[in-house]
Amino acid sequence: MSKCEQCIVKEFSSLKALNKDELLKLSDCKTSITIKKGENIFEEGENVNGIFCVKDGVCKLTKLSPNGKDHIVKLVAKGELLGQRSMISDEPANLSAIALEDMHVCFIPKNDIMEFFDKNNQFSMNVMKTICGDLKNADEHMVNMAQKSVKERLAETLIYLHDTFGTNTDKTLKIQLSRDELASMIGTATESCIRLLSDFNKIGLIELIGKKIVLKDFNKLKKLAE
């Protein structure tokens, strides 16, 4: 089992505020878990009672809408933490976390992590900044959903997937979302998403290779997104 002081997660998350002794203590209380593609890390309404450190892999955070469909709120990658808001608010998870690919995560119980809140002010401040950042992103997403067209939202999402997760050697987007998942991210019906992707393909903005997507004209996509 790897030690927390050697883990890449601490470089990109609230854990970077912990000193070596605190990280060693964290290593003793964590549990390493392998999550297979499609499996839940936790479900909406579940009492998480701790945080998850994403060591490898990507998951989607989803919210169940009144009509019974899952809406993708955010994608979470290596180096991020899950469950911070629920831990601080002492409430059940308001989102579900589902693996988009095989993942390696570490779970740290609430009682152990809260000890650092009392003793390390910088750590508690980092956690609060992260939660505030998530709220800011949620506000911006809500404005985009209200003010941007579906075409603009699709262009913006494709750029986000490219910039955040990169591409494969064949230049296809590394994160392979299904058409349902992509439609969920931009807030439209799957049929509309498929039609728009076809339109983007016809005018040379993207290239469709089976279910894979290549961004062909990045500048025009960026202009459309804005």
Identity at 42, one-letter amino acid code:
F
**d(C-alpha 210, C-alpha 162), whole Å:** 18
**d(C-alpha 91, C-alpha 18), whole Å:** 25
Residue 120 Cα to chain centre, angstroms: 26
Contact 113, 22 (CB under 8 A): no
Burial 91-108 (b: 16+ CB within 10 A, else e): eebebbbbbbeebebbbb
DSSP symbol at 77: -
In angstroms, the Cα distances linking 191 to 131, 181, 183, 184, 188 are 34, 12, 8, 11, 8
**d(C-alpha 92, C-alpha 109), whole Å:** 15
Residue 14 Cα to chain centre, angstroms: 16
Reading the chain (226 residues) residue by residue, the pLDDT tens digits are 456 666 656 555 777 778 888 788 888 888 899 999 999 999 999 999 898 989 999 999 999 887 778 889 899 988 888 988 888 888 999 999 999 999 999 998 988 888 888 788 888 888 888 888 877 877 777 777 667 899 999 999 999 999 999 999 999 999 989 999 999 999 899 999 999 999 999 999 999 999 999 999 999 999 998 8
Q: Which residues in 110-210 belong to E strands, given as ranges?
A: 206-209
Ordered by where they begin, the domains of the chain are: 4-123 (2.60.120.10), 146-225 (1.10.10.10)
Report the predicted TM-score, pTM, of the whole model to 2 decimal places.
Answer: 0.83
